Amino acid sequence: MRQFAQPGPRFDAGRSAPMMIRALKVLLALAVGGLLMGRAAAENGQTNNNSVTLEEMIGQMLIVGFDGTRPQQKWPRKLGALLAKGHIGGVIFLKRNLSNARNARDLTRFFAQSATRHPAFIAVDQEGGSVQRLAGNVGLKRISSAQRVATKMDAEQAYDYYRNVARQLSEFGFNVNFGPVLDLNTNPQNPIIGRIGRSYSRDPDIVARYGAAFVRAHQAEGVITALKHFPGHGSSRTDSHLGFVDISETWREQELVPFARLISEGLADMVMIGHLHLGRYQTREDAQLPATFSRVLLGDVLRNQLKFDGVVVSDDMEMGAIRKRYAPGDALIRAIRAGNDLLILSGTTSGQTSLPERYIAAIKQAALEDPALKTQISQSYLRIVALKLRYLVPD
């Protein structure tokens, strides 16, 4: 497999001071995270007053969806209590949670104020086109799809366009936008990418250029982004929301190029893993597993080859590609073992407010039985702390 060239850093006097501040904040996050973790008791995961519990470290790895549109309702109140204890890392909004502008702002404010232990990821999918949660329902204009943006705008215009999108998200209280899509439009009939205009182009250079504009625009407004769907969903013939997707025969190595480019340019806050089976990068033990559970793809390719050292986030763990083949608790443990730091649970199929605590208990039990898993949880916690400190703690 080709090793992607990584250009050397360029000194820019106008950007050097903010970059140094950002680097110092990340280093401080690691130090703070180490203090917070302290010395966990080997048997029960409890820690001293200067540290967090194992449950809290696991909880920070969960981004949870919910039912409801107002803070007073059952699900939001439950998640607010979990945020207060640090037992979830954040929340994700779907369109069903956004009834109007006032309620949307009340909810994001409630979650942010509830998160007294750790700042909360308050996330949404606001790509544009068919994937946008905030539109007329909260009084905003619809956003153009990635395909239309690349057709109608140059990269500089796209930056201005996406900066306005990010500013609107920030004004509504969101601090994470799960985009941009870096999938190549190699199969225009792809039901979940090409057919609905979610890809900028089949050309990896164009995808990288517009993806970079998306990320830089959001970073300028303090909104975290996630490059998706690694290792590339553009060639698939089916939809991972519905069931198992095998891209082994259609995927091409050039689909890694946009990810490699943005990672090398320091534009990867998070990388989202697609629930996609790619046989060539999986061992015999990984046979028929999605990338979400592949140590080869997440470790050897993403971490070692592409040199990504940030937060790896799963796609929704309640999508059909996972839900139809794996028990929920087992799926989460598999994903952590493979190298996922954040796990999305959209709540679209569960609707049970007790699930986050049940999942934490199952993962904790597995971690107490497996020191390697416990170490991975600690490492994920540090990455999450670093990202939160970089974006969600004022300078």
- Catalogue the active-site residues: 241, 315
Q: Rounded to whole angstroms, how far apart are CA atoms 265 and 56?
A: 32
Amino acid, res. 52:
V
Q: Rounded to whole angstroms, how far apart are CA atoms 80 and 111?
A: 6
Report the 10 Å Cβ neighbour count for 74.
11
Q: Can you tell me whether residue 55 is helix, strand or coil?
A: helix
Tokens linked to 334: 């598999």
Q: Rounded to whole angstroms, how far apart are CA atoms 301 and 269?
A: 17
Of the candidates 276, 284, 286, 280, the residue with the CA atom closest to the CA atom of residue 337? 286
Helix ranges, the chain (H): 13-37, 54-59, 74-85, 101-114, 146-152, 155-171, 204-220, 257-264, 295, 320-323, 328-338, 355-369, 371-392
Whether the CB-CB separation of 93 and 176 falls below 8 Å is answered with no
Q: Rounded to whole angstroms, how far apart are CA atoms 199 and 188?
A: 9
Q: DSSP per residue over 184-213, as a string?
A: --S-TT-TTTGGGT--S-SSHHHHHHHHHH
